[in-house]
């Protein structure tokens, strides 16, 4: 097992202060992304089991169809399951009620807003009065769809005003997030610029984000999930989901540049069991899928066994233990610096 940092150290990193007694915000809490492996990549070295610590701004960015909205919806569902409140800002109008219910998210008219401009989005966040008792989260999907008033009136063709409004708004918003211990997760698209890959909205979003997750198709292996069935003596194949690679591009919470793969099933959401089984098979060098106390040659049979016997928690603990064992092999031990 990895040595755990104390709660005081984690609080200091998250809140950006040197003395824990000076912190006025509530104690640190974590919310799950719906993926055990992604939770571990985010903060597995400093928090048992990982997860997204509260009081932080997160940017989830990548190409279209990679699963950004799914990650936001999973985190929103985790907030609601903690008896927390959510505010979903949806300028692209993509998260309808049917889609949100796939993830177990129930949104009232007060919790679901479609802002057109950057200033409207920040106004909603600044005036939000969530209920107390759980982890509260704000979700914006996506920042690339937001405009400025000047841009809507064709007075800002290059979008310079939008970048300035993001910078001005985030300076106030980050303090609000930290003081109230909220989770704020924003999705964003990618653009190809002269210097490489960028995200819309200027430099303020990457600068103020404590965590940036790049989501995209895996470089190798299966990018889609298919099932094959027999009907009338013939084989039929159907795509039932996708696999996406998540890379921690920036982190002030734990080590950056960790990566993992998530599975997203259509009509279901993130399939944590599937990727946990795959991780154990590859990490242990097995020929079969280890479903806690049984082994199976086929993934689908292993998933059925885990669900029928309610072994999700045991499977997750095995993944955490293996991840920590592997992570411990990369600990760099150095003498204390001489000043």
The single residue listed with the structure tokens 């603990």 is: 317
Give the dihedral sign, CA 312/14/111/212: negative
Residues 35 and 117 in one domain: yes
Residues 196 and 177 in one domain: yes
Residues 262 and 281 in one domain: no
Cis peptide before 142 (omega within 30 of 0): yes
Residues 84 and 99 in one domain: yes
Is residue 1 a part of any domain in this protein? no
pLDDT in tens, 159-181: 578 889 999 999 999 999 999 99
Q: How many domains does the chain have?
A: 2
**Given this model, what pLDDT does residue 27 score?**
60
pTM greater than the 0.85 cutoff: yes
Residues 289 and 162 in one domain: no
Is residue 166 a part of any domain in this protein? yes
**Given this model, what pLDDT does residue 7 score?**
45
Average pLDDT over residues 279-286: 97
Is residue 17 predicted with pLDDT exceeding 50?
no
CA-based nearest residue to 210, from 15, 7, 9:
15
Residues 38 and 140 in one domain: yes
pLDDT in tens, 191-223: 887 878 999 888 999 999 999 999 998 866 678
Residue 86 banded pLDDT, cuts 50, 70, 90: very high
Two structure tokens written together for 245: 């690679």
Which residues touch 120 (CB under 8 Å, ≥6 apart)? Answer: none
Residues 143 and 162 in one domain: yes
**Given this model, what pLDDT does residue 150 score?**
57
| Residue 315 domain boundaries | 273-339
Q: What is the CATH number of the domain that holds 12?
A: 3.40.50.300
Average pLDDT over residues 262-284: 97
Residues 236 and 117 in one domain: yes
Average pLDDT over residues 281-297: 97
Residues 39 and 66 in one domain: yes
**Given this model, what pLDDT does residue 1 score?**
46
Residues 185 and 255 in one domain: yes
Give the CA angle between residues 222, 228, 233 to the nearest 5°.
150
Q: 11-17: long-range contacts (C-beta < 8 A, 24 or more apart)?
A: 13/46, 13/252, 13/253, 14/53, 14/54, 14/55, 14/56, 14/178, 14/210, 14/253, 15/55, 15/178, 16/178
Chosen domain end from 226, 243, 270: 270
């Amino acid at each position: 097992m990895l040595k755990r940092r104390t709660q005081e150290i984690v609080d200091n990193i998250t809140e950006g202060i040197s003395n824990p007694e000076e912190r006025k915000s509530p104690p640190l809490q974590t919310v799950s992304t719906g993926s055990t492996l992604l939770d571990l990549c985010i903060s597995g070295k400093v928090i048992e089991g990982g997860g997204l610590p509260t009081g932080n701004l997160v940017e989830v960015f990548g190409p279209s169809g990679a699963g950004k909205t799914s990650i936001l919806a999973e985190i929103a569902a985790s907030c609601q399951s903690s008896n927390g409140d959510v505010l979903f800002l949806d300028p692209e109008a993509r998260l309808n009620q049917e889609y949100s219910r796939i993830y177990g998210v129930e949104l009232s008219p007060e919790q679901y807003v479609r802002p057109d401009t950057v200033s409207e989005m920040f106004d909603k966040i600044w005036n939000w009065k969530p209920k107390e008792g759980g982890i509260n989260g704000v979700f914006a999907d996506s920042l690339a769809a937001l405009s400025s008033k000047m841009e809507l009136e064709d007075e800002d063709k290059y979008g310079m005003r939008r970048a300035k409004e993001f910078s001005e708004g985030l300076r106030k918003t980050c303090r609000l997030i930290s003081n109230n211990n909220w989770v704020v997760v924003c999705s964003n698209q990618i653009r190809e610029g002269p210097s490489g890959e960028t995200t819309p909205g200027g430099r303020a979003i990457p600068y103020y984000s404590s965590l940036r997750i790049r989501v995209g198709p895996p470089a190798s292996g299966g990018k889609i999930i298919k099932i094959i069935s027999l009907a009338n003596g013939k084989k039929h194949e159907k795509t039932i989901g996708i696999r996406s690679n998540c890379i921690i591009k920036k982190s002030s919470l734990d080590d950056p540049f960790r990566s993992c793969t998530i599975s997203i099933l259509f009509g279901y959401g993130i399939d944590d069991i599937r990727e946990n089984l795959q991780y154990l098979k590859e990490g242990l060098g097995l020929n079969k899928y280890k479903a806690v106390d049984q082994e199976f040659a086929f993934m689908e049979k292993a998933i059925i066994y885990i669900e029928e016997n309610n072994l999700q928690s045991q499977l997750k603990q095995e993944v955490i233990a293996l991840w920590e064992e592997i992570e411990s092999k990369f600990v760099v031990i150095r003498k204390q610096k001489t000043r």
